[in-house]
């Protein structure tokens, strides 16, 4: 050949082509492989950090704007209420009032119930349904997210704090730790949003959360048997065996009146939920069922109280607004580490649920939810909540679904809900005196049973066995060990899966689809054919220090197996190995060293190694490490097809 057409060019947009006719394939243009444009280290660092922390380029709206417009855009950026507020009208208000009152009917009984789940005074649940929604309505970017206490965060907080402090023997200390954990949860959440580190919560994979929520739901349901059976003395532990032994060891405390009432209302709540699922237009049936159950059961117990029916009730709840609790924050002492750990874990769980729920309903209405803004909004409302007698809150899926179905248009529905809770706190608290604990247990059981998604677990088994393993580890870890350890085990399995994919990347042998320039996996496409004297391999992962040894050994094994196959079938001698680098998105110094060593090892065996379609960053690393020089002018091609055509022509040109 007079001109080598695949020379590696240092000019980013220069390329030369030459047409080479071959008998095996139609005439093909051979393109030069270009290096990426030169950049300084500072430019590369700036670009990389921008891709990591600002993938959505949030400041693009500020370019080429006047200072006043920038000020207005800044207010809209940090306070979304300035974005939709000027366009708000009476028609939107009507929809928000209806949806706000609807979710209030669900939030009031759930707030009381979830506070009991966290071993906190029931009034704290109502406090947590008043202040946080008001803060979120100013800072949040989701139109449909309904804010308040949620079952999973309540369960985790209750189980973690109860292991060290008894809520009955040391109620003040327990309350202090709950508020402090809420404060640290908010600080952690707001920091993630401010520093744009939201990718940290991505380590809680969907498979992990499915198993965790199912295991936690089973534990919650078993714990509620205390209220459903009327047991007075019950274990505070959250392990399966402890709960079951406590149930059967206190059979003498079972109350048949409580059991009958609990069973009746459970049937009622599950029936209304089934009606709402089968007929979405009747969503309000399930939404109104908890409050209806509270009202009916309270009236029943009030009239039966004189007959001593042995049904325990909530008792006195104080009237009034949220009292300040900043003086109760616990920042020094032996339990500070426990409060921090509880805050971080509940913060991660509540943040994951809140962002996921917000994005779910945003997708249904075709608008965007900014994950980092949501993190800051949820974090700030928990920080403020910890100073106003609230515990961890986030966006609730059940309340948000009701909010969406009720026709909510903006976050004003949260303001309406908070207003309804305010009226309850100021005037209606004495009415809850005779509310039976059994009805709260029934509401919790109905709510959390929907979190057991066996169909999703079955799909995991069908699609990805490692995901199913993570799901089961999370489920059984929560069920039989403890809630935080179960979650830690599941995260560990998920990280192990990531490491497995990184350290043992997929490699495959490619063949040519006849009459095309397409090369695909031989095992996947039966029509794909091997090219005589060529072994075409593909690597489907970045090449890092963690997998270089494996890749080198695996490639040499492919070569050995190909030579044995050729020898057994008397085919043409193997001369060239083409490494398809299309899916190799990055390479480090260990990877470049491995490529250099592999090239030398194959040279000693009279085998040529060439690279096909390396991405820009990989090309740059290969050049800077001088590895590219060892490949020479015939060592790098734009595509596998061009490599085969050019090398075949070169072989034919040789005497």
Q: State the pLDDT at residue 14.
A: 36
Of the given ranges (41-45, 460-464, 641-645), which has the lowest mean pLDDT? Answer: 41-45
Q: State the pLDDT at residue 369.
A: 81
pLDDT over 50 at 477, yes or no: yes
Mean pLDDT rounded to a whole number for the chain: 84
Give the pLDDT band of residue 587 (cuts 50, 70, 90).
very high
Backbone phi and psi for residue 98, each to the nearest 5 degrees, phi listed first: -60, -50
Is pLDDT larger for residue 558 or for residue 313? 558
Per-residue pLDDT, averaged over 348-362, amounts to 84
Q: State the pLDDT at residue 21.
A: 40
Q: State the pLDDT at residue 386.
A: 95
pLDDT over 70 at 19, yes or no: no
Per-residue pLDDT, averaged over 625-647, amounts to 87
Per-residue pLDDT, averaged over 424-431, amounts to 89
- For 141-197, the pLDDT digits (tens) are 888 899 999 888 898 898 889 888 988 889 999 999 999 999 999 999 999 888 877
Give the pLDDT band of residue 210 (cuts 50, 70, 90).
confident
Is-contact 99 146, C-beta < 8 A? no
In the sheet where 507-512 sits, what is the strand order? 519-521, 507-512, 534-539, 576-580, 608-612, 636-637
Closest CA to 583 of 612, 549, 625, 623: 612
Of the given ranges (76-85, 112-121, 125-134, 458-467), which has the lowest mean pLDDT? Answer: 76-85
Q: State the pLDDT at residue 273.
A: 86
Is-contact 287 269, C-beta < 8 A? no
pLDDT over 60 at 16, yes or no: no
Q: How is domain 505-653 classified at the architecture level of CATH?
A: 2-Layer Sandwich (3.30)
Q: State the pLDDT at residue 325.
A: 93
Is residue 64 exposed (0-12), middle (13-18) or buried (19+ Cβ within 10 Å)?
A: exposed
CA dist 430 → 112, 420, 509 (Å)? 14, 16, 75
Give the up-direction half-sphere exposure of residue 117: CA atoms within 13 A in the CB hemisphere: 34
Per-residue pLDDT, averaged over 266-275, amounts to 90
Is-contact 120 175, C-beta < 8 A? yes
d(CA 71, CA 377): 20
Is-contact 213 152, C-beta < 8 A? yes
Q: State the pLDDT at residue 276.
A: 84
- For 212-227, the pLDDT digits (tens) are 878 878 887 888 888 7
- For 119-132, the pLDDT digits (tens) are 899 999 999 999 99
H-only helix segments in 279-406: 283-304, 336-364, 371-386, 397-405
d(CA 270, CA 448): 12
pLDDT over 70 at 555, yes or no: yes
Strand, coil or helix: what is 395?
A: strand
Q: Residue 415's CB: how many other CB atoms inside 10 A?
A: 18
Looking at the chain, how many residues does it have? 655
Is pLDDT larger for residue 605 or for residue 407? 605
Give the pLDDT band of residue 27 (cuts 50, 70, 90).
low
Torsion angle of the four alpha carbons 344, 349, 354, 356, in this order, in degrees rounded to the nearest 10: 130
Give the pLDDT band of residue 92 (cuts 50, 70, 90).
confident
Per-residue pLDDT, averaged over 307-316, amounts to 75
pLDDT over 50 at 1, yes or no: no
pLDDT over 90 at 258, yes or no: no
Name the DSSP letter for residue 430.
Answer: G
Q: State the pLDDT at residue 308.
A: 60
Give the pLDDT band of residue 384 (cuts 50, 70, 90).
very high
Q: State the pLDDT at residue 380.
A: 95
Per-residue pLDDT, averaged over 586-613, amounts to 93
Q: Cα 545–548–549 angle (5° rounding)? A: 115
Is-contact 284 102, C-beta < 8 A? yes
d(CA 269, CA 77): 42
Q: State the pLDDT at residue 24.
A: 44
- Structure token digits, residue 473: 């580890």
Per-residue pLDDT, averaged over 443-466, amounts to 85
Q: State the pLDDT at residue 76.
A: 74
Q: List the domain boundaries for the chain.
A: 89-315+324-498, 505-653
d(CA 78, CA 370): 11
């Amino acid at each position: 050949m007079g001109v080598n057409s695949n020379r590696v060019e240092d000019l980013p947009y220069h390329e030369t082509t030459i047409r080479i006719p071959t008998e095996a394939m139609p005439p093909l243009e051979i393109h030069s492989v270009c290096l990426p444009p030169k950049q300084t280290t500072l430019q590369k660092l700036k670009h990389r950090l921008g891709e990591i922390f600002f993938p959505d380029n949030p400041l693009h709206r500020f370019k080429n704007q006047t200072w006043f417009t920038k000020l207005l855009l800044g207010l809209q950026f940090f306070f979304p209420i300035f974005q939709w507020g000027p366009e708000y009208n009476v028609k939107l208000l009507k929809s928000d009032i209806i949806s706000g009152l609807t979710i209030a009917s669900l939030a009031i009984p759930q707030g009381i119930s979830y506070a009991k789940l966290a071993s906190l005074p029931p009034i704290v649940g109502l406090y947590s349904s008043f202040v946080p929604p008001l803060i979120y309505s100013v800072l949040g970017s989701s139109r449909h997210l309904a804010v308040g206490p949620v079952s999973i965060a309540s369960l985790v907080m209750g189980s973690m704090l109860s292991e060290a402090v008894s809520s009955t023997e040391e109620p003040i200390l327990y309350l202090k730790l709950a508020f402090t954990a809420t404060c640290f949860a908010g600080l952690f959440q707001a920091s993630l949003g401010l520093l744009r580190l939201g990718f940290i919560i991505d380590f809680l994979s969907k498979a992990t959360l499915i198993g965790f929520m199912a295991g936690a739901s089973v534990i919650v349901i078993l714990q509620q048997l205390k209220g459903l059976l009327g047991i007075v003395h019950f274990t505070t532990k959250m392990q399966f065996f402890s709960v079951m032994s406590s149930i059967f060891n206190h059979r003498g405390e079972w109350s048949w009146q409580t059991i009958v009432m609990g069973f009746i209302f459970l049937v009622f709540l599950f029936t209304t939920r089934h009606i709402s699922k089968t007929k979405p237009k009747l969503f309000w049936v399930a939404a109104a069922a908890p409050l209806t159950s509270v009202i009916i059961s309270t009236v029943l117990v009030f009239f039966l109280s004189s007959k001593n029916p042995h049904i325990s009730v909530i008792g006195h709840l104080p009237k009034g607004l949220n009292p300040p609790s900043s003086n109760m924050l616990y920042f020094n002492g032996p339990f500070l580490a426990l409060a921090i750990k509880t805050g971080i874990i509940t913060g991660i769980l509540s943040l994951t649920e809140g962002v996921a729920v917000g994005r779910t309903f945003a997708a249904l209405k075709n608008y965007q939810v900014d994950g980092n803004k949501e993190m800051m909004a949820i974090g700030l409302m928990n920080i403020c909540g910890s100073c106003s007698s609230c515990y961890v809150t986030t966006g609730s899926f059940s309340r948000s679904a009701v909010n969406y179905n009720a026709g909510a248009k903006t976050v004003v529905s949260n303001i309406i809900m908070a207003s309804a809770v305010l009226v309850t706190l100021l005037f209606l608290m004495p009415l809850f005196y005779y509310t039976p604990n059994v009805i709260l247990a029934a509401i919790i059981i109905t709510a959390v049973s929907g979190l057991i998604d066996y169909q999703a677990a079955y799909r995991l088994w069908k699609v990805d066995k490692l995901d199913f393993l993570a799901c089961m580890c999370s489920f059984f870890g929560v069920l039989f060990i403890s809630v935080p350890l179960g979650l830690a085990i599941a995260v560990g399995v998920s990280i192990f899966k990531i490491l497995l994919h990184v350290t043992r990347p997929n490699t495959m042998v490619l063949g040519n689809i006849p009459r095309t320039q397409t090369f695909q996996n031989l095992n996947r496409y039966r029509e794909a054919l091997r090219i005589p004297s060529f072994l075409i391999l593909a690597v489907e992962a970045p090449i890092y220090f963690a997998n270089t040894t494996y890749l080198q050994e695996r490639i040499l094994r492919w070569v050995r197996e190909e030579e044995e196959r050729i020898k057994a079938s008397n085919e043409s001698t193997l001369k060239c190995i083409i490494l398809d680098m299309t899916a190799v998105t990055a390479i480090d110094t260990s990877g470049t060293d491995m490529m250099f060593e592999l090239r030398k090892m194959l040279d000693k065996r009279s085998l040529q190694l060439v690279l096909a379609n390396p991405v820009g960053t990989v090309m740059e690393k290969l050049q800077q490490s001088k590895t590219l020089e060892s490949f020479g002018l015939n060592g790098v091609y734009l595509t596998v097809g061009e490599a085969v055509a050019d090398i075949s022509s070169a072989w034919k040109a040789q005497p």
